[in-house]
Amino acid sequence: MEPEATITCVDCGGVAHRLTYPREDGAWLPGDVVAYRCEDCLDRWDVVLPDDWGEEDDVRDWSRGR
C-alpha cells in the first residue's frame, strides 16, 4: 500500500503533492512521515502514517480522514 500521491490542502483547498519517496525497499511503514507541498499556497503538510498502516482489512482513506 502506498500513500496518496496528492491530498487536499487544509488551508486553501488546493492540491498538495507528495514530496517523500518510499524507503529503498519500496516499503511504507507505520510511523513514517510523508511530506506534501501545496501547489497553490506552498504550505507543507507532514502526515504520520497511522499504527495500522498497511493492514489488509484497513479500507479507510487516511488522507481524507475517512
Evaluate whether residue 25 is within a structural domain. Answer: yes
Q: Is 13 left (phi over 0), alpha (psi -120 to 50) or beta?
A: left
Q: Average pLDDT of 1-29?
A: 95
pLDDT per position as a tens digit, 12-25: 999 999 999 999 99
What is the domain count for the chain? Answer: 1
C-alpha cell at 38: 501545496
pLDDT per position as a tens digit, 32-52: 999 999 999 999 999 999 988
Domain that holds residue 22: 6-52
Evaluate whether residue 39 is within a structural domain. Answer: yes
pTM of the predicted protein model: 0.78
Evaluate whether residue 35 is within a structural domain. Answer: yes
